[in-house]
Structure 1
Amino acid sequence: MIKLCLLTNVYIFYTIFNQSILPSQSLPVPLTFSPNPDEPLTLYNKVKIVHFSALDTTEAQFDVDLFLIQSWFLNKSVCQGYSDLHNNYSFKAPLVAVDGAMTIIEYDILTKIWLPRTYFPQVKTTINPMSTYTDGFLTIYQTSRIKDQCMVKFMRRLSITVECKLDFRRFPKDTQICPIDLTSAFWSMSTLHYVWDENPIEFRPEDLDQNNYRVNITASSRIDTAYDGKTRSWLTLQFKFDRKISHFILEITVPSILIIISAYFSFFISIDTGSGRFAFSARPLFNLIVLYSSYKTYLPPLSYVNAGDIWMLGNICFGFFTIIIVAFNVHLGQTKKIKSTAANNSNANTPSEISFAVDNFTNANTNNNCTCNRFKHIFILKHFRCFKCKVHPMPKPILLKSQHYDKMMRVFYPTAFIIFNIVYWLYLL
């Protein structure tokens, strides 16, 4: 019984207090009293951007702080009802704008007035969940450019986090387009029509130049079907992020080119150094792999190869090719040393003999084929009778072959790398 009495007293107090604040009846929805009954209510939209953050490529999002200003025209009778509603409010704030315009900021009054509920598909989170509905300023202008009509302007501040679909196929010269769509949450185009106002976007020019991007903001509109199958008018606020390539050049391109140049110098090192030359040529490859790993930290995990990957993989191929050539030349040098050592040991175990050999000739006395260096040719002809015989050319020394490969790579290697750079940068830029 005591609880019932308490609840009754609370209800009576709430009813008296609520009636002292607002009248019992609410005003009709203005969409049913459009100035032009045969046409939908036109909603003019304007955006003032206070600040927007840099694009977060890891989370695929960015933050925007803006004012959304929406205005529409109604019959003066409806605006007069809004004014009466405000005047009957017990705790109204004395905010009166110039030219007799009245500004309403009280939440209780705004809940009794029709306000456009705008839907933002790309918005992930907002700081104030109520900011998209009734948290703002409503200004009523009794005089407008249209006769017998008044203008209502509603301004609200939105601090939102916007998701963005990113495409890094042309990284580091990629362009990310991040739209923010606006449309009615409930009303179709036949009832409520969203359009941009004159000069729809206002922002600070200094915000367009960020550390990694140059930003361009444009406004557009379209007519499309919404999630419920109704045709709606859509407004798009498009943020275009053009990446600055200077960061990639300083952090990735210049170090990788210097590493390739250091690998090129390995072709000038003598083959006699052996394993030391191989170790010198292997370090650039390892440095390129480490640089490639640090480069991947700038991007989220991707399932495709982008332009930056092509640059790094191309440089890694050049580093790996250097190791292959150097290893092959070192192997030839080691083989020559082994054969020279074996030949010296066999000569030491056999008796010494005086023999003469003539290149391209056969000894007439023994009729044996023989070979010799050409500078002995004249001397030997003076002491032996020789006839021309079948040629048995001597193979070139292995050491001369490896030196020949080094000379070839000193020309081929930088030429191939320059061609790779020309083709790559023409494609990227």
Structure 2
Amino acid sequence: MDELINFELPVNRSSIIKVIGVGGGGSNAVNHMYHLGIKDVNFVICNTDAQALSNSPVPLRVQLGASLTEGRGAGNKPDVGKQAAIESLDEIKDALSANTRMVFITAGMGGGTGTGAAPIIAKASKDMGILTVGIVTIPFKNEGPRRITQALDGIAEMENYVDSLLVINNEKIREMYGDLKVSEAFSKADDVLAIAAKGIAEIITVHGFINVDFADVHTVMSNSGVAIMGSATAEGENRAIQAIQNAITSPLLNDNDIKGARNILVNITSGSEEVTMDEIGQIIDFVQECSGVNADLIWGNGIDSALGRKICVTIIATGFASNSIPEVYARKREINRVNLSEAGTPSNVSKSVFEVKDKSGQEKAPGNQRALEFEVTSSDKWLHEVSKGKSQVDMNRASQRVNMIKKAQERMKEIAGTSSNAGDI
């Protein structure tokens, strides 16, 4: 399989930006980007599937876990993908070592190789001091709950090792293009990944009168958490406002709301009909109105003759928590729900609190018991609601309620003990 590993790139072709596709979904997206010809970017694909690697047009290919998987893929098992990446870590680092300052790691989460290997590759990149951006997808719902669960687990792991993470939900594609054939739907997912990587990379590589350079991108994306990104083109009399509105509200990029962003980067590219200062002012004013006064904003202007009379606006907003991604937030709520089996059933909790008796079996200290009754009863009622699915809460609130009941139990035992001792004297 030596022909699958080719790290000897001519020096004059080496770019500071590399886009790495991991697994089947990530590799397909990078193959698509390679054909698009994103400017001044080197592409790498990493996969456990030897046949998929050999069919790729991308020159730089790394077979992951050749000994572990024997080129047959990860079998939809993220642990296998993880171990395969660990086995091939030296080859991965070799691919990253040549003049690399920024890496995009793209993967379709939910399978074996992308889900398991992408976080390992991200960690290696970050440890090398490279600005590391993850661009990943959540599967279509019809791919099944197991893949979606694995995808969300993989995203949580990926978040630990990247500077910035963009998450694209494939289900948005189904909502927008439900009549597409299956192959066309997955191709559309590749398009979205390509738009995201191309939009960010060409902010750096396409130059204009006011350039956004690597240092600006580093400022916005370094250690920035979840990022949201949109890009759109428009032409005509109101092209500036139309382009920025469409970029911010792109349904394929999770209906972005940039309110609360810490850093925002805006790149405005025009063709033969150059953008005017008034149009730039309209775009920047619109972004500031949407984001609030606390966001730091960097903007630049580029020229691309292929646009003709159109204008293209790309916006990247960073500094969001992972709960800004609806699917990830829902997953975290599911994980953090209180485990009622640990707290005891509501009836058992109520019974254990109020059955406080002395040595003779008689209930003691009813006055003090009633002093705690409202607090404990309200907690008991809340537990009933949770058990019936009427109330779903995070772990913090659940822990507070359970601790409240435990303290009440302890207090009632103290009261009973005091009363019992007094009777013995």
TM-score, L = length of structure 1: 0.28
> Which one has the bigger strand percentage?
1
For CA contacts below 8 A with separation 6 or more, give which structure has more relative contact order: 1
**Structure label with greater radius of gyration:** 1
